[in-house]
Amino acid sequence: MDRHAIQTRPRQQLLDHSSGLKSKPEPAFDFSQNNNVTALIGKTAYLTCRVRNLGDKTVSWVRHRDIHILTAGAYTYTSDQRFQALHRQNTGHNSEWSEWTLCIKWAQERDQGIYECQISTIPIKSYQFHLNVVVPTATILGGPELYVGAGSTINLTCAIHFSSEPPAYIFWYYNENVLSYDSPRGGVSVITEKGGDVTTSWLLIQTAQPSDSGEYSCKPSNANTASIRVHVLNGESLLLRVPASSVFSPMFYERREYDTSREVTCTEQILA
C-alpha cells in the first residue's frame, strides 16, 4: 500500500467531514422594527428590539447619554424601578428570532434621548432607538391675533394634541373670567369633539360686537392654557387695521398616530 496515501487519508477525511458542516448564522437585528418611538408623558414607553439567530449571545439595553447599562438579558441593572426588560421568544421554520423590549413606566421628559440595543458579539453589534416623550398641548388656531367684523360670528377652535385620553373638561375664559353660556348677552355656545388623538373644542359667539373684543382662553383639564386676542371692528376700521396675514392665515394642525393598544403593566412577562 502506498505509504503517502495512508498518511493523507485521515486529513482528507477530516476535510470532507468539515465541509459538510453548516456554519451557524451570525446574530442580526431586524431593522424593519420602528426605532423612532413616541410616548405620552406619564404613560408606559416600549422600545422593542428584534434579534435573529441570537444563539448563546446576550441582548442588553444601554442609555446613550450616560452609557448606563439598564438591562442585560432578562435582568435589570438600575435602581430606577420604572425600567424593566421584557422578553418574547419564537422559533420559525428557517430562522430563530426573539424580541427584547425595554419597558419604561411613567415616562418623563428626562427619559427622552437615544437608547442602544446591543448584542454581545465580538465586536459588539448595536442598534440605536430614539425615544421622544410628548406632553398634551392646547392650541387655538389662527392666533395670536384675530380680527372679525362687527355682526359676524366669532369662531374659535381649540385643539388638544398628544393626549392619551380626552380631557375631563374644557373651560373657555374671556379676559380671565369663565365664559357664561346663559348670560344676558346670549348667542354663546361651545361644541366639543373628542377624537382618538386630537380633541377639538369650538367657541361660537354670534353677532359679534366691539364689546366682545379681548383675550379668549381655552383651558383643558390635562393640558396648558391657550389664548388668542380677538378684535371686533366695524367695516371701515376692519379694512384699515387688519394685517394681510390675519385675513387668510392658514389654520391647520398635524395629525400624529400612536399605538395605545399595548398599554400593559411592566410586571407582565410577554411570552409567545
pLDDT at residue 211, as a whole number: 93
Residue 88 shares a structural domain with residue 161 = no
Show the beta-strand stretches assigned E in 19-91.
28-29, 36-40, 45-52, 59-63, 68-72, 75-76, 83-91
CATH number at residue 67: 2.60.40.10
- How confident is the model over 218-231, as pLDDT tens digits? 999 989 999 999 99
Q: Is 96 within a domain?
A: yes
**Position 91 pLDDT exceeds 90:** no
Cell numbers linked to 40: 405620552
Q: Chain-centre distance of CA 23, in angstroms?
A: 41
pLDDT at 189 over 90: yes
In a 3-state reduction of DSSP, which class is residue 13? helix
- Same domain? For 94 and 192 the reply is no
- Total domains in the chain come to 2
In this structure, the number of other CB atoms found within 10 A of the CB of residue 144 comes to: 11
CB-CB neighbours of 92 under 10 Å:
8
Report, as an integer, the average pLDDT of 244-260. 37
Q: In this model, does residue 270 exceed pLDDT 80?
A: no
The CA distance from 196 to 270, in Å, is 26
Q: How far is the C-alpha of 112 from the C-alpha of 88, rounded, in Å? A: 25
Q: How far apart are CA 216 and CA 177, in angstroms?
A: 9
Where does the pLDDT of residue 194 fall: very low under 50, low under 70, confident under 90, or very high at 90 and above?
confident
Indicate whether 62 and 77 sit together in one domain.
yes
C-alpha span between 38 and 22 (Å, rounded): 42
Cβ neighbours around 99 below 10 Å, total:
18
Cis link prior to 144 (omega < 30° from 0)?
yes
Does the residue 176 lie in any domain?
Answer: yes
Higher pLDDT, 65 or 257: 65
Last residue of a domain, one of 118, 134, 150: 134
Same domain, 127 and 168: no
**35-78 pLDDT per residue, tens:** 999 998 988 999 999 999 998 999 999 999 999 999 999 899 99
On the question of pLDDT at 234 being above 50, the answer is yes
| Domain match, 142 and 228 both | yes
- 156 by Cβ neighbours in 10 Å (0-12 / 13-18 / 19+) ranks as buried
Hey, which residues does 45 pair with through a beta bridge?
104
pLDDT of res. 89: 84
pLDDT tens for 95-113 read 688 999 999 999 999 999 9
CA distance 153 to 174: 16
Residue range(s) defining the domain that contains residue 97:
28-134
Domain boundary among 134, 169, 203: 134
Question: Which of 84, 112, 134 is the C-terminal boundary of a domain?
Answer: 134
- Cβ distance 149 to 99 under 8 Å? no
Quickly state the pLDDT bin for 163 (edges 50, 70, 90).
confident
Whether residue 114 is contained in a domain is answered as yes
Q: Across the chain, what does the average pLDDT equal? A: 82
How many Cβ atoms are within 10 Å of 114's Cβ, its own excluded? Answer: 13
Q: Half-sphere exposure of residue 234, counting CA atoms within 13 Å on the CB side?
A: 2
Alpha helix (H) ranges present in the chain?
3-19, 235-241, 244-247
234 and 172 within one domain: yes
Q: How far is CA 68 from CA 50, 65, 71, 72, 102, in A?
A: 21, 8, 9, 11, 13
36: burial class by Cβ within 10 Å (0-12, 13-18, 19+)?
A: exposed
Global pTM value: 0.64
